[in-house]
A and B are shown apart, each in its own frame.
Chain A
Amino acid sequence: MTKAELVEQVAQNINLTKKQTETIINTLFKSITEALRDGDKVELRGFGSFRIRQRDPREGRNPKTGETVQIPAKKVPFFKAGKELREMVDS
């Protein structure tokens, strides 16, 4: 399912145009993105939670040349599915 298909299906279930629905869906993902940017976690009951995981710096290796390279510390957005969604997916 792409975002366009999501917009389409949501619009069918509510009393709004596709354009309005698209604005709302964009607002929603933008809002989650901004929360994560600010280091906040986002907990959505029945769905799951988003947060930022901190990765330590480490030594990596260029697989082609065998050369050792430093991989800097970084932050990785992480999603954990909630219980309801986990069970739904596995049924």
Chain B
Amino acid sequence: MIKADLVDTVYQKVGLSRNEAAHIVEVIFSVMKEALRNGEDVQVVGFGNFKIRQKRTRVGRNPKTGEEIMITSRKVLTFKPSRNLRDIANGKVGRPHEAPLA
């Protein structure tokens, strides 16, 4: 599945043109990216949490040459799937992602 397939699903679900659907999908991901860029977590109930982790400098090794190298400190993005998503991945029923917002 690629982004165009997501756009199709959105397009079929709501009464929008394909262009509008494509635009909205772009906006959704860019809002999420902007939050992550600012170091903010993104929590999607029933799906999972995207989180920024600060990694410290450490010594690594080039597995090919055995040479030691410094791995600089950096920020990395991690995704923790929700219980719901993990259950669905394992063939359990899980809740469909339709829960209204509180």
Interface residues of A (CB under 8 A from B): 1-4, 6-7, 9-10, 13-14, 16, 20-33, 35-37, 40-48, 52, 74-79, 81, 85-86, 88-91
A13 touching B77 in the complex, CB below 8 Å, given contacts A36-B85, A52-B89: no
Are A29 and B27 neighbours in the complex by a CB distance under 8 Å? no
Are A3 and B45 neighbours in the complex by a CB distance under 8 Å? yes
Q: Does B33 contact A (CB under 8 A)?
A: yes
| Chain A, residue nearest B50 (CB) | A79
Are A29 and B36 neighbours in the complex by a CB distance under 8 Å? no
Which residues on the A side are within 8 Å of B45 (C-beta)? Answer: 2-3
| Chain A, residue nearest B41 (CB) | A1
Please provide the chain B residues from 1 to 28 with a CB less than 8 Å away from any CB of chain A in the complex: 1-3, 5-6, 9-10, 13-14, 23-25, 27-28
Please provide the chain B residues from 45 to 94 with a CB less than 8 Å away from any CB of chain A in the complex: 45-48, 50, 52, 74-77, 79, 81, 85-86, 88-90
Query: Looking at chain B's contact residues, is the secondary structure mostly helix, strand, loop, or mixed?
Result: mixed
Are A27 and B47 neighbours in the complex by a CB distance under 8 Å? no
Are A10 and B6 neighbours in the complex by a CB distance under 8 Å? no
Max count, chain B CB within 10 A of own CB: residue among A22, A28, A79: A28
Subset of 26 A-B contacts with CB under 8 Å: A1-B41, A3-B44, A3-B45, A6-B31, A7-B101, A13-B31, A14-B24, A20-B14, A23-B14, A26-B97, A26-B99, A28-B6, A28-B28, A29-B47, A30-B97, A36-B88, A42-B2, A43-B2, A44-B3, A44-B6, A46-B33, A48-B77, A77-B81, A79-B50, A86-B77, A89-B75
Are A24 and B24 neighbours in the complex by a CB distance under 8 Å? yes
